[in-house]
Chains A and B, each alone.
Chain A
Amino acid sequence: MKNLTLPISEEDIRGLKVGDPALLSGVMLTGRDAVHKWLVDTFIEQKRTPQGDDLEVIETLKPLMAGGVIYHCGPVVSGLDTGDYSFVAAGPTTSIREEPYQAQVIKAFGLRGVIGKGGMGPATLAACQEQGAVYFHAIGGAATLIAKTVKKVLGVYKLDFGVPEAIWVLEVVDFPAVVTMDSHGGSLHDEVERRSETALAALLLKM
């Protein structure tokens, strides 16, 4: 078991390989579809001029992203009326939807990882290799268990994206995940799929 404290150094990330179980502690951000599009359009490709509190928010987030991780998650949050937020259920969402954006976001903001479920594609894998980052796979459906590792909600930005789509800043202790894509080009998802394909071919030969 690897105990990792956020922010994570490049050396620690390069030391991780596919299959390693990890417990993450420290400060992380949630971000899914709306956030990835916003980051790329506004700050990376600059197709959209910053509006409202965009510039302020990005300056606050930059230090958290450098060496940090983004968690693909649309949580159930309580305390919405009082602002005394707490995470009730917070399992991972399917990551592949961020594939068009993830590589750019990793490189532009110096992420050391993303957390989600289902794995990601070749562009993200290449960015992980280049930048020194990994894909952490959380346990799909283990929503109550994961919510319990969120000790504190430190803040929320872009709540106008909606509760599941907002950027939640979290303090976590021992958030459980498994490295399924590493910074050396290894992907457990590719390996498992290739093996399953061979096994399927053998089973279809039989009558």
Chain B
Amino acid sequence: MKDHTPDFLELIRLAATSLPPDVERALRAAVEREEPGSSGRAALEAILQNVEMARAGSTPICQDTGTPIFTVHHPAGWSTRALREQIRRAVAEATHRSYLRPNAVDSLSGRNTGDNLGDEHYPTIHFEESEDDALVVDLMLKGGGCENVGAQYRLPDSRLKAGRDLEGVRRAALDAVHQAQGKGCAPGILGIAIGGDRGTSYIASKETLLRQLDDENPDPALAELEDRITEQANMLGVGPMGFGGATTVLGAKVKATHRLPASYFVSISYMCWAYRRRQMTIQAGEAAYS
């Protein structure tokens, strides 16, 4: 097996410094919806200028380069142990080159490891064997400010009058956006999972954030719910940075997973506008990025 450490390093550089085209398009469209001269519009304009500068200079889009979350789909026979080692080497090197800020802090001593290498959960790496003959790796950098405003609801919820149905999910999602205000660096993107246990539900909510912003959910009921949540969240008027305005969220992605009869969780991962995720495909030893 070839050493793919340099390919992983390039994946990290790209994710940290170059915002994906679908997200940039959504931000550009959002500028047009804000009142000329408003603070919300000025914030979006500054954000877009920052995006261009970061790309041009290969510097981090945001100084909080977040938790690196890798999802690896590998063909049969690949060594996940070797892949894990290569990913960890690339993460340390990316930190050394200032693509990533050192973010791994020991929860007991408060010490920062300095190279983004923590225990087996940091960086986060999920492996899945696929039938494909290509290696496909998704990387998401999940910021701390927006992670702090994520929320998990256990339905039914009497405060929100939210029952165990899609109407209940809508209520929970709108409440979460209201609670977040601008604190997660709005405009945000909502990753929403219905079902699972507390742990798998949150994992699924992050998986939905790997979808393209402008794709369509294959389940018509969920597709409709996504549109509804997006439209109504924007009626809250929180706006970019919480300055007030028409764009509070850029989109919502919903996934339903199986659950126990006793539990009905709705887990919401809030992703800030600095929605950094990139994909690498390695086929016949050659890496391509999108």
Contacts and interface: CB of A to CB of B under 8 A. Distances in A.
B60 A143 contact: yes
Q: Max chain B CB contacts within 10 Å: which of A90, A144, A189?
A: A144
B244 interface: yes
Q: Max chain B CB contacts within 10 Å: which of A76, A140, A146, A192?
A: A140
Q: Max chain A CB contacts within 10 Å: which of B63, B143, B232?
A: B63
B267 interface: no
Interface residues of A, number: 41
Interface in B186-213: none
A191 B244 contact: yes
A46 interface: no
Interface in B41-61: 42-43, 46-47, 49-50, 53-54, 57, 59-61
B145 A140 contact: yes
A148 B182 CA distance: 24
A203 B64 CA distance: 34
A34 B241 CA distance: 26
B50 A141 contact: yes
B128 interface: no
A94 B235 contact: no
A204 B242 contact: no
Contacts of A76: 60, 63, 98, 101
B239 interface: yes
Contact of B181 (A19, A145, A192): A192
Nearest to A146: B50
B145 A200 contact: no
Given A91-B63, A118-B183, A191-B244, A196 B238 contact: yes
Interface string B140-169: 000101000000000000001100000100
Nearest to A180: B243
A88 interface: yes
B271 to A, nearest CB: 12
Contacts of A142: 46-47, 49-50, 62
Interface of B: 39, 42-43, 46-47, 49-50, 53-54, 57, 59-64, 98, 101, 143, 145, 160-161, 167, 171, 174-175, 178, 181-183, 185, 232, 235-239, 241-244, 272-274
